[in-house]
Structure formats: structure tokens, C-alpha cells
């Protein structure tokens, strides 16, 4: 069968970013062990924030914090919870509980480093994400976790609307089972200075000590690539489904370490029902997860794509957009091509290369098309591709379009 699924989402340049938060997908497979939301403005108006410290630099402009400044920000005085200036957005559309803060009650000008602690209770962190929403007078010049800058360009923002950074690669920045620090580095360019933010940090522990298969179901119309967590996996281990019907032996089985392997199960024509998952090592030892996988009748891949990015790019400043894609269906999608279209008048850079699939670029008339041949997109999986775009002062409002097709 062939299923074309050209889900098209477009991002209107001037649309509020709040309309775009629907991306949270059904594709995330690892169990979220901990979700932490921290925000500015903990306390009543005019009082000091009970959680967010503020270290003023004593000057305006773009300043990169030093290690000593990260350290001293942890014990700096608390920021003040302030009323927004009349030209500011009053609250964040994504989190009305977040309040504006400043280094003084009267929003004194000057760049500053804000620091707030948060507790990570996981002892093992396999994956972690940061979803950071903010507005600022005048710009966020980097978001940092424990003194390390998050990936990509985190220099953006303004006070007219909500901005957002999303990163799913922050696990290496976190300290397990410990107090961690989130830093927001504010650049002020004069007159007044203030910041409002809301950050959600989600951690997952899918590694050692847990057992499971993800996804734990698949349709009997194609292949399903699964990830198995367990213990004692040896190089050369094989995966199979046993139980009703003939055994189904996984192909392309890759053992990443003693705790994680991936394998593709061809379920075509398999009778529906519960199966046992068996991992067998070359030395004959094996491990069984009983009734851990369900073969479903029918189904199809369902690819999707979403553009995430700033509602507007500051003129002649680079804006980072994320093309987030995935497959919420119950079988792997094959031959998947993702196409991105934007005005050729924009300067562009791709934060990825052919490692995700052959990348081709072409300009047709006023539009640049970037196509990525993703090949197989596993059932239940998702991924993201960063794209950097820079607009000139004369750039009119524009639309970025992303589409995905496969079968
Ligand atoms: Ca200012």
C-alpha cells in the first residue's frame, strides 16, 4: 500500500508564537520521569522574587558571563517582581503565572545575569529537554544550564511578544540527583530592563535499571523499529517476538551498549495479539519480556512536521527555526522526504548535514527549497533539524513551509 501523508504546517511570520505550541507530539516514547517548571516572578508585585537571583553587570550591552559571574549569581540578591512597562506584553501567553522581574523595583537599565536553582531527582538521565518561553527588554543573550550554554543560537527576544527556545539535547548539561542552576543572560540596550520567563525541563530515565520495549505495538502491514532497554546485552545479540504465530526475528539489530539495542521487526501478515520479547546473546543467555509487544491488525505510518521558531527575527539577526518531524503511526515510514521552503532573499544555514539523510538545496524563482531524504522514520519516533535564517532590513513578512511525504 502507499500512503501519501503531506501534512503541511506553515508558520506565518507575524503570528503569535502561542499559536504554535501544538507541536507536543505523540511521538515521544521514553517515559518522562520528571517534569520541572520554573518561572520568573515568584512573589507579590514589588517584593523580591523568592527564587530568581539577579547579578547586574553595571553596564548595558551584550556581555558574556564568566565562570566567576555564574558562581556569584547564585548568591546575588533576589530580583524584584515588577509591573510590566506599558509597551511590554503583560504576561506570557504560555504561562500566565510567570511575572516580569528586574534588578530593581523601577526596572533600572543595565544588562544582568539571572540565576535560579531547580532540583533534579533522577539518578540517571538518558534524555532531557528544555522548553523555554520568554519576553525581555531588550534581549536574551544566552540561556545556560549549570554554566553551559544550551545548544544552537540562544540570542534572541524582545518585549512585544513571547519568544521560545526548545532543546531536546540538554541531558549532558544536567547534574543527576542534585541541585541544578538555570541562567538567563539579559542584554539591555538602555532606558529600562526587565525579563519574564517560564522554563519546563523534562527528564527521562530509559537506561540502566529499566526494562521495556518502545514502541510496544505495531501494525501487521510493515516494519516497526523498536528500542529495547534491559541489562547484559552483548554485541551480536538478537531480538525476536515469540508466542502466537511464527517467531519474528528482528533485522538490523544494533547493540549500543549493555542496556540498549534497536531492531526492526517485520510484522507484515503476522497474526494480531500479544507477543513475548526475547533478547538472546551470542553466548546463549537470554532475557524475556513477557507479553510486552502487541501486534495490531492494520495501520499505517503517519508522518508529521512542524516549524518552531521565533515569531519574528530581529532584523539582520539570525533566527533559529526547528523543523520538528516524526511518525505517530504504528509502522515505520519509508522513503520519507522532508521539504522546507522559504524566501531565497533570506540568508540561510543548516544546523545539520547528510548524517540525517541526503540534503539537497535548490532555488526556484523567489523560493529556496531544502529537501532531506530521511529514509526510514521509525514508528513513534521524532526528530528535529535546526535551520538558521537571517533577514535583511528590507525583508517583508514571510512564510516558512515544511512538508513531509513518505509511505
Ligand atoms: Ca532597555
Q: Output the DSSP codes for 10-70.
A: EEETTS-GGGGGGG--TT--S-EEEEEEEES--S-TTSEEEEEEEEE-SS-B--PPPHHHH
Domain with CATH 2.60.40.1510 in the chain: 8-15+301-405
Mean pLDDT score across all residues of the chain? 83
> Residue 394, exposed/middle/buried by CB under 10 A (0-12, 13-18, 19+)?
exposed
CA 349 to centroid of ligand 1, rounded, Å: 30
pLDDT at 77 over 60: yes
- Which is more confident, 308 or 6? 308
Q: CA 150, 166, 305 angle in degrees (round to 5)?
A: 135
What is the pLDDT at residue 57?
A: 97
What is the pLDDT at residue 309?
A: 65
Q: CA 321, 325, 327 angle in degrees (round to 5)?
A: 170
* CATH dotted code for 8-15+301-405: 2.60.40.1510
Closest listed residue to residue 381, CA positions, set 6, 49, 73, 127? 127
What is the pLDDT at residue 348?
A: 84
Cβ partners under 8 Å of residue 394, min gap 6: none
CA 188 to centroid of ligand 1, rounded, Å: 5
pLDDT at 206 over 90: no
CA 79 to centroid of ligand 1, rounded, Å: 16
CA 190 to centroid of ligand 1, rounded, Å: 4
pLDDT at 29 over 70: no
CA 107 to centroid of ligand 1, rounded, Å: 9
CB hemisphere CA count around 85 (13 angstroms): 20
Asked if 157 and 140 count as a contact pair (C-beta separation under 8 A), the reply is yes
pLDDT at 194 over 60: yes
CA 192 to centroid of ligand 1, rounded, Å: 4
pLDDT, average across residues 83-87: 94
- Which is more confident, 317 or 293? 293
> In this predicted model, what pLDDT tens digit does every residue of 253-294 receive, in sequence order?
998 777 778 899 999 999 999 999 999 999 998 888 888 899
The model's confidence at residue 326, banded by pLDDT at 50, 70 and 90, is confident
Domain with CATH 2.60.120.260 in the chain: 32-204
* CATH dotted code for 32-204: 2.60.120.260
What is the pLDDT at residue 205?
A: 64
What is the pLDDT at residue 33?
A: 55
Class of domain 212-296: mainly beta
Asked if 350 and 369 count as a contact pair (C-beta separation under 8 A), the reply is no
What is the pLDDT at residue 383?
A: 74
CA 339 to centroid of ligand 1, rounded, Å: 39
Asked if 52 and 116 count as a contact pair (C-beta separation under 8 A), the reply is yes
C-alpha 119/C-alpha 122 separation (Å) is 9
> In this predicted model, what pLDDT tens digit does every residue of 335-357 receive, in sequence order?
999 999 999 998 888 877 777 78
Among 141-155, 174-188, 223-237, which is the least confidently predicted range? 223-237
pLDDT, average across residues 166-190: 90
pLDDT at 208 over 60: no
pLDDT, average across residues 229-248: 90
Closest listed residue to residue 398, CA positions, set 347, 337, 326, 338? 347
Cβ partners under 8 Å of residue 406, min gap 6: 5, 301, 303, 333, 334, 335, 336, 337, 374, 377
CA 115 to centroid of ligand 1, rounded, Å: 20
What is the pLDDT at residue 24?
A: 25
C-alpha 249/C-alpha 267 separation (Å) is 10
pLDDT, average across residues 110-137: 88
What is the pLDDT at residue 318?
A: 64
CA 390 to centroid of ligand 1, rounded, Å: 23
The model's confidence at residue 384, banded by pLDDT at 50, 70 and 90, is confident
CA 13 to centroid of ligand 1, rounded, Å: 24
CA 138 to centroid of ligand 1, rounded, Å: 5
Asked if 114 and 79 count as a contact pair (C-beta separation under 8 A), the reply is yes
pLDDT at 15 over 50: no
> In this predicted model, what pLDDT tens digit does every residue of 125-170 receive, in sequence order?
777 889 899 999 999 999 999 999 999 889 999 999 899 888 888 8
Question: What is the DSSP code (8-state) at residue 77?
Answer: P
CA 141 to centroid of ligand 1, rounded, Å: 13
Domain with CATH 2.60.40.10 in the chain: 212-296
Q: What are phi and psi of 37, to 5 degrees?
A: -115, 125
Asked if 213 and 262 count as a contact pair (C-beta separation under 8 A), the reply is no
pLDDT, average across residues 74-83: 96
CA 136 to centroid of ligand 1, rounded, Å: 9
Question: What pTM, to 2 d.p., does this model score?
Answer: 0.53
- Which is more confident, 314 or 253? 253
Amino acid at each position: 500500500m502507499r500512503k501519501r501523508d503531506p501534512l503541511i504546517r506553515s508558520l506565518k511570520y507575524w503570528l503569535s508564537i502561542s499559536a504554535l505550541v501544538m507541536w507536543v507530539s505523540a511521538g515521544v516514547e521514553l517515559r518522562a520521569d520528571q517534569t520541572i517548571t520554573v518561572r520568573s516572578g515568584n512573589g507579590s508585585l514589588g517584593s523580591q522574587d523568592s527564587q530568581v537571583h539577579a547579578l547586574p553587570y553595571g553596564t548595558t550591552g551584550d556581555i558574556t558571563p564568566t565562570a566567576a559571574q555564574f558562581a556569584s549569581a547564585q548568591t546575588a540578591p533576589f530580583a524584584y517582581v515588577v509591573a510590566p512597562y506599558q509597551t511590554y506584553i503583560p504576561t506570557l501567553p504560555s504561562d500566565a503565572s510567570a511575572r516580569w522581574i528586574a534588578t530593581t523595583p523601577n526596572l533600572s537599565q543595565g544588562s544582568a545575569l539571572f540565576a535560579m536553582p531547580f532540583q533534579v531527582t533522577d539518578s540517571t538521565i538518558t534524555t532531557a529537554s528544555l522548553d523555554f518561553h520568554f519576553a525581555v527588554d531588550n534581549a536574551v543573550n544566552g540561556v545556560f544550564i549549570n554554566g553551559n550554554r544550551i545548544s544552537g543560537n540562544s540570542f534572541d527576544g524582545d518585549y512585544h511578544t513571547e519568544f521560545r527556545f526548545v532543546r531536546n539535547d540538554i541531558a549532558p548539561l544536567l547534574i543527576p540527583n542534585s541541585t541544578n542552576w538555570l541562567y538567563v543572560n539579559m542584554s539591555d540596550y538602555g532606558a529600562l530592563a526587565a525579563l519574564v520567563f517560564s522554563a519546563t525541563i523534562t527528564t527521562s530515565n530509559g537506561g540502566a535499571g529499566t526494562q521495556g520495549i518502545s514502541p510496544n505495538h505495531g501494525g501487521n502491514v510493515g516494519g516497526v523499529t523498536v528500542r529495547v532497554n534491559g541489562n547484559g546485552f552483548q554485541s551480536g545479540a538478537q531480538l525476536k517476538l515469540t508466542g502466537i504465530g511464527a517467531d519474528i526475528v528482528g533485522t538490523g539489530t544494533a547493540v549500543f551498549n549493555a542496556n540498549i539495542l534497536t531492531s526492526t521487526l517485520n510484522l507484515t501478515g503476522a497474526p494480531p495479539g500479544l507477543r513475548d520479547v526475547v533478547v538472546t546473546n551470542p553466548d546463549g543467555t537470554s532475557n524475556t519480556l513477557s507479553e510486552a509487544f502487541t501486534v495490531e491488525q492494520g495501520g499505517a505510518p503517519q508522518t508529521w512536521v512542524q516549524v518552531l521558531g521565533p515569531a519574528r527575527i530581529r532584523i539582520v539577526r539570525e533566527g533559529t527555526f526547528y523543523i520538528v518531524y516524526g511518525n505517530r503511526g504504528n509502522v515505520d515510514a519509508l522513503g520519507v522526504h522532508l521539504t522546507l521552503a522559504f524566501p531565497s532573499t533570506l540568508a540561510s544555514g543548516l544546523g545539520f548535514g547528510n548524517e540525517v539523510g541526503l540534503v539537497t538545496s535548490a532555488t526556484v524563482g523567489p523560493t529556496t527549497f531544502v529537501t532531506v531524504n530521511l529514509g526510514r522514520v521509525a514508528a513513534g519516533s521524532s526528530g528535529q533539524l535546526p535551520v538558521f535564517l537571517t533577514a535583511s532590513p528590507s525583508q517583508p513578512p514571510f512564510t516558512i513551509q515544511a512538508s513531509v511525504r513518505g509511505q
